Each structure stands twice: as C-alpha cells, then as structure tokens.
C-alpha cells in the first residue's frame, strides 16, 4: 500500500489511533504525537470517546488516559469534550454499560452520541485531531437502543479516518499487528503508519521482529518509541512526513 494511494484525512488532519491490544501504549504514543505536532506549530485536539476504569471525583468520573490527552491538546478543552462516555469499572465498556443498564442506572451507548462529540471537536478546526480508541480495533460497544450491535471501529469507518496502529513490542505482536491491519483494511480504511512501542526493551529478537513488521505491513514505520517517563521525552521519535504533517 503506497502512501500516494492513501486517502486523505477526512477533516483537517484527523487520525484514529488504535492498538494491537489493550495496554500497548496508545495514550502515551498519542500524547507524544500531539507534542511533536505542537512543536512544529500545529494546533491539536484529542478525543477519547469512550473509557472504562475511571476515578469518581467531585467533578464526575475521570479517566487517567483522557486527562493526559486533555493536557496534551493545545486547544483548551473541557474534560467532557475529550471523553464524553466514561465508566467507573475497569472492564470492557460494553460489559460496564450492560451492568449499568441492567441496574436501571444507565443508558445504552449510542454511536450517534460519539459522532456528535467528534463533530463538536471538528468544528473547533484544530490542525490535528487525534481520536484514541479503547482496547483493540474491534472493540464492542454492545447493542444500542434499537437492538443493533455496535463496534468502535464503526465510528472510524463512518468518518473514513486514517488509522495509526500502535504495536506493543512483545511476544505475539507480529500476529496481532498483521491481523489488526488486515481487519482495518477489510473495513475499507488505510493504516497510514504504525508505531513500534517498546513495552519490553529486552524482548528477544526485537530488531528481527521490527524488521518482520516492516516487511509484512504495507504501512510505513512512523517511529520507535523507547520506554520513557513522559511523552515529551520521545516526541522527536516520529516521522511526521509520512502523516502529511510536514511538506
């Protein structure tokens, strides 16, 4: 797949950040990308439409990943603009939602609401808008109020978003990356680039695994992200040219 044939981001420079699994560093990579964009003078905004695993505060439920994305955005955004749908329990969102609905203390997740939140951020006209998924590509959202099964990937497909794939470098990552990229492409979207996130710096045959992914994935490697204490520390790791952010 050539970048010359890749679709352009649907609105401004809009990207959907997904991962090969949960806990592969999507938020860390997203925040580092936002910092890199800010450094070249681009305005940025982030959207994490759904989260699970939140702390109950006086201001409402707060998710640590969403808070980091809010802080990393150059636009001043309210928390609810970044993360409109939040669940307290650290379980799959469709399960958390089902428990709340069954108890009479919640409503179904609706893609319509996620779309409204996205359009609200689009209207702010930042140069770069990063949408961070939850879990992996095919995250179930459960049935909506009309009884239809939904997936977060449906949102990305509806908006024809270019996809950035975060690969957590650990045993099994090649299989997970190839299957995820295949699913994205079968859904009609483009993986515009992938990021090698060093979850296990001592991973056996690390270089060979990265080379295998470079050979087997049709998208370019955007960067190798080493373990670091803060996203700002690794913002120079990315090749923003591949994303069309530097001419």
**Which member of 48, 89, 100, 235 is catalytic?**
48
Each residue's pLDDT tens digit, 179-226: 999 999 999 999 999 999 999 878 999 999 999 999 999 999 999 999
Each residue's pLDDT tens digit, 29-55: 999 999 999 999 999 999 999 999 999
Please list the residues that pair with 50 across neighbouring strands.
Answer: 85
Known catalytic residue: 99? no
Phi and psi torsions of 23, nearest 5°: 60, 40
Domain count of the chain? 1
Label residue 60 exposed, middle or buried (CB < 10 Å: 0-12, 13-18, 19+).
Answer: exposed
* Residue set of the binding site for ATP: 23-28, 65, 132-135, 197-198
Residue 34 structural domain? 3-243
Q: Do residues 91 and 116 touch, judged by C-beta distance below 8 A?
A: no
Q: What is the pTM of this model?
A: 0.93
Q: What CATH number should be reported for the domain holding residue 57? A: 3.40.50.300
pLDDT band at 12 (very low <50, low <70, confident <90, very high): confident
Helix pair 206-216, 173-186: axis angle to 10 deg: 20
If you count DSSP H runs as helices and E runs as strands, how many of each does the chain have, helices first? 8, 12
* Residue set of the binding site: 23-28, 65, 132-135, 197-198
């Amino acid at each position: 797949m050539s970048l010359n044939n890749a679709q352009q981001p649907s609105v401004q420079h809009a990207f959907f950040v997904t991962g090969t699994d949960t806990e592969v560093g999507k938020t860390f990579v997203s925040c580092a990308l936002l910092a890199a964009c800010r450094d070249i003078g681009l305005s940025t905004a982030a959207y994490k439409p759904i989260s699970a695993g939140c702390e109950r505060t006086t201001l409402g439920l707060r998710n640590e990943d969403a808070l980091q994305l809010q802080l990393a955005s150059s636009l001043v955004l309210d928390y609810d603009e970044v993360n409109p749908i939040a669940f307290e329990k650290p379980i799959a969102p469709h399960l958390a939602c089902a428990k709340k609905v069954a108890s009479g203390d919640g409503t179904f997740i609706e893609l319509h609401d996620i779309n409204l939140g996205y359009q609200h951020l689009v209207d702010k006209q930042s140069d770069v808008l990063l949408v961070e998924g939850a879990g992996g590509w095919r995250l179930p959202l459960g049935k909506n109020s009309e009884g239809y099964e939904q997936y977060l990937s449906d949102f990305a497909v509806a908006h024809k978003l270019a996809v950035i794939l975060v690969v957590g470098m650990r045993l099994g990552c090649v299989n997970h990356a190839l299957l995820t990229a295949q699913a994205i492409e079968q859904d009609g979207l483009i993986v515009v680039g992938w990021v090698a996130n060093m979850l296990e710096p001592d991973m056996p045959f690390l270089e060979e695994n990265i080379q295998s992914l470079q050979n087997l994935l049709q998208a370019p490697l955007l960067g190798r992200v080493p373990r670091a204490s803060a996203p700002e520390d690794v913002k120079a790791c990315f090749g923003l040219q591949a994303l069309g952010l530097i001419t």
